[in-house]
Structure 1
Amino acid sequence: MLDGKVVVVTGAGRGIGRDIALMMAKSGGRVIVNDLGGAADGAGADATPAQEVVDEIKAAGGEAVANFGNVAKAEDAQAMYQQAMDEFGAIDVVVNNAGILRDVIFHKMTEEDWDSVIAVHLKGSFNMAHAVAAQFKMQASGCFINFTSTSGLIGNFGQANYSAAKMGIVGLSKSLALDMARFNVRSNCIAPFAWSRLIGTIPAKTDAEKARVERIKEMTPAKIAPLCVALADPTSDVTGQIFGVRNNEIFLFSQPRPIRSAHRSEGWTPETVRDHALPAMKSDFYPLERSGDIFTWDPV
């Protein structure tokens, strides 16, 4: 599918990113394996994970090089683009997978908790897209695969920073799809369900939460990779969409559209909004649900 195409995968040293990098290479892609090698909260750095993935790809007969940059830094993202051009003479696909977690209930969340998560997820996705956008425009081709989460799409406890970043990525991905469609550049989002070291940091206190964690453990990161490769296929025309992958299920998510309206020819006052508009719409209000309330069935 990807014979000779050059793919950058961020956060590719472990988990979902690792399996994406491996399958991209198996499908013929030449891969820049990026990973800072930090802890789940972003602290520290270790070149080992990215290099191990590169070694695994090469041992299987593929082509790959390691990159240890921090996507939160624009200069590191630019260096990734330059490395792809220097090593392989091209860049065709960017997979914005890198992420960290700083989970904490909102009233205890610090500004640093907020800034660090936004920087890696949202600004990191922007940095990578911005670094390659001019090249994609010039060659009239390219593909962005961005990672969102049901924590943003639906909601979750203790993840205001992560949820906001992941919903921001949805808007970024759609804007990339709209702005760059004229240059034959595509952009899509994936919300993955898969066990990873990041998921492992989420506290599970109740029996229901512990049971949900056990279900997630059954969903291996390798299940996410086939959709990524299919979206990266240069013959694909899919763009501007939000997908989910849960074990052997692939979902297409809805996108916000008006579902009800209320009208008064004379206009609205605060009182008529309270007494007419809000009651008229109330039957269609969304409850305060989180991801686990929606995806209640066992993975298949």
Structure 2
Amino acid sequence: MNVLRILLFICLSTVMLQAQSLEDLQEMKAEKMAQIGDLQSEISTLQGEVNGIQKDIDKLIGWRKGFSGLIGFDFNNSNGWAANPNPDASSSALNIALTAFANKDGEKYFWNNKGIITKSWQDVDLSDADSGNDDDGLFDNGTVDIFNIQSLYGYKLSDKLAVSAMADLNTSVENFLSPGTLDFGAGVTWLPANNLTVVIHPLNYHLAFSGVDGVDSQGGLGAKIRADYNQGFDIAGKGLNWNSTLMTFIPYSSNEPTLFEYTWLNTLSFEVWKGIGVGIGFGLRNAEFESPDTQSYYSIGLSYNL
């Protein structure tokens, strides 16, 4: 009987010790979580101070420049591989995307410049179906071709608002201005953050150059809106950078086809080692003057940020 009582006492003591140990661990966890919250608040405050110091540095050194690039490539070849749908075939693809900016931020003015180039090629040679085009090469078959350059000048009314003027060219490298658009406008620019610029120009002249037979080039007055955003994130100690440009033109008069258009271009790059990583580029465009359908593209490859 005494042995039974001793065993019962030991079991009850063990349970009580485990419960107490669990309660202690939960209290320790709550304390650590509170400490993490305090540190995150301090980090946010310090980051704001760092951003302010960087803004002062940029004003003193003048121009602030940046560059990011993406390259993707693919090469395939089979020679007499009987299991293939095309036993004798070869294919190659190359994607290049470049984004660069040069900004000058003065005491009472700013001058922002940005360029985007995306170019892709693909070549496929099949033993039977493509026998008539064996002489063509990779650079004879373009698949994606985007060229956009923008220059924005603004006179600051406050830290967040400025009167501005902008020139904006949107076309392709090989088919330059065939089709393409060119904008000249004036209005205001909103600067809500260091990495976001929103241009609203109600006084804008839009030139649309036609690359389609039977459609004449034309122009008109309207409103030009453009937003440029760049944000860096830290994920597991590695950098993720998102660069995005959204632009649209809203005409004041109705034409057939309409001059209304919008374009959204994006680049995502995830750093793996010393600025080198994996990048994704994608975009959407709708311009009835060029095509009644929504246009899109994407590319994936190695990326580099400087």
TM-score interval, smaller chain: under 0.3
* Structure with bigger RCO (C-alpha 8 Å, 6+ apart): 1
Which one has the bigger helix percentage?
Answer: 1
Select the structure that is richer in strand: 2
TM-score (norm 2): 0.25
